[in-house]
Amino acid sequence: MHYFCSMEILSDDTKNILGLRLPSDPRWVNLAGIQLEEILTDHAYCEQKAATTCISLIQRYPDRELLVEELSPIVTEEWGHFRAVLAELKKRGLQLGKQRKDEYVNRLLEFQLKGGNPEERFLDRLLTMALIEARSCERFKRLSEGLDDAYMRSFYRRFMESEAGHYTLFITLAEHYMPKARVRKRWSEWLAYEALVMDSIEARGDRVH
């Protein structure tokens, strides 16, 4: 059963910023609102994984000077986000639960090119990160607008703005290292694939993606 409504239209500004083909099911916000401990736990681990992935990219591509320069502060920022979510859990008397299997990210990793041209693999790694940040931004936007708790709406507004900047950064890095037309062609393929993934994953309130 598909839980995502393909007829819902994203606002023009969200389309222009993110390019996502399929919006999240609006019911997801209600599910997340009643599973706050679970969604905050998953959010914390998402921020942790974002930091460690940036570290991994720096380690893998130390000769890419701009990448190293731009991702170094992102590591610090993402780890700061992890700590901010931990603090929110503690303030509410909630516990950081166990890390779950991230079906969304695992499905994206399946689409990455394996073998072949190392430049194409490099591009796919950057676009994977861009897409995760874009979807996170879209999800945080929904939380910032749909949660009943005014404080949590503001809490997620800040995260939404940050994720939009990260999405832009990964696209910019991709276009710095290879022709824009090549990047845009592959990005379009990624967006089409991600829409299929979103349409096939159950809407659950215990996960960010």
Q: What is the pLDDT of residue 18?
A: 64
Q: Within a domain: residue 207?
A: no
Please report which helix (H) or strand (E) contains residue 161, including its range: helix 150-177
What CATH number has the domain bearing residue 184?
A: 1.20.1260.10
Task: Tell me how many domains the chain contains.
Answer: 1
- pLDDT tens per residue across span 11-53: 444 444 468 998 888 889 988 888 989 999 999 999 999 999 9
Distance CA 160, CA 18 (A): 12
Q: Within a domain: residue 54?
A: yes
Q: What is the pLDDT of residue 156?
A: 92
- pLDDT tens per residue across span 69-118: 999 999 999 999 999 999 999 999 999 989 888 899 999 999 999 888 99
Mean pLDDT over each residue of the chain, to the nearest integer: 88
Residue ranges making up the domain that contains 86: 28-200
pTM for this entry: 0.88
Q: What is the pLDDT of residue 81?
A: 95
State the CB neighbour count (10 A cutoff) for residue 150: 8
Helices 103-111, 180-200: axis angle to 10 degrees equals 140
